[in-house]
Amino acid sequence: MLLQRDKSLLLMVDFQAGLLPVIDGGQEAMNEAAWLGEMACLLEVPVWLTEQSPEKLGGSSASLLACLNDYRLWQKQHFGAMAETEFREALNATGKTQIVLCGTEAHICVLQTGLGLLEAGYELYWLSDASASRRPQEAAFARERACASGAVAVTADMVAYEWLHRCDTALFKEAHQRFLKPRASRPVRFY
């Protein structure tokens, strides 16, 4: 199934200042998430971020937040965000059915959040180029497990072009000028 921006929500899990330095490919993953987050803001797709125990791991990366002109921030103690009652109820209230998921660590908080989303009946899109762990093989296994459970592996470009849907609109032209042209020069790691 194609992603539709009116049904989508971009969920970024735990891109936190205290965690990113130990994540293999963490900066690259966050850059891809930030790029798609900017695109989501332009296309009016909600962007939500979570923080795991920010008093210990620090808050969300300042450079990521600087890219987003609109987002909702959630703090959590459970590894899986769906275990947080307020988060789960607010997500349900949005009416969004397609969740594009990324973050760190892929094999812990991202995976547990993803499995919770699948269990709750959401369509889950695993943003492969924006999900990372301390050890790359754990991120790869997390994606494999999520996809075996019903998630669909995607890239930021796939998501952006599906959200845009067509090339003959003013919105596409604006996105192309602001975001799409420089994409070819950006290195991307896939887990």
> Using N-to-C axis directions, what is the helix angle for 136-148 and 111-119, rounded to 10°?
10
pLDDT value, residue 189: 53
Instruction: Note whether residue 191 is domain-resident.
Output: no
pLDDT value, residue 181: 56
Q: Which of 44-53, 128-137, 164-173 has the lowest mean pLDDT?
A: 164-173
Residue for token pair 């192309």: 176
pLDDT value, residue 188: 52
What is d(CA 63, CA 80) in angstroms, rounded to the nearest whole number? 24
Confidence band, pLDDT 50/70/90 cuts, at residue 111: very high
pLDDT at 185 over 60: no
Instruction: Note whether residue 10 is domain-resident.
Output: yes
Confidence band, pLDDT 50/70/90 cuts, at residue 110: very high
Average pLDDT taken over every residue of the chain: 93
Q: Which two tokens stand for residue 93?
A: 């209230």
Q: What CATH number is associated with residue 49? A: 3.40.50.850
pLDDT at 71 over 70: yes
State the burial class of residue 70 (Cβ atoms within 10 Å of its Cβ: 0-12, 13-18, 19+): exposed
pLDDT value, residue 61: 94
> How many C-beta atoms lie closer than 10 Å to residue 147's C-beta?
15
Look at the chain and report how many structural domains it folds into.
1
pTM: 0.93
pLDDT value, residue 176: 83
Structural domain boundaries enclosing 96: 5-185
The DSSP code sequence of 117-158 is HHHTT-EEEEEEEEEE-SSHHHHHHHHHHHHHTT-EEE-HHH
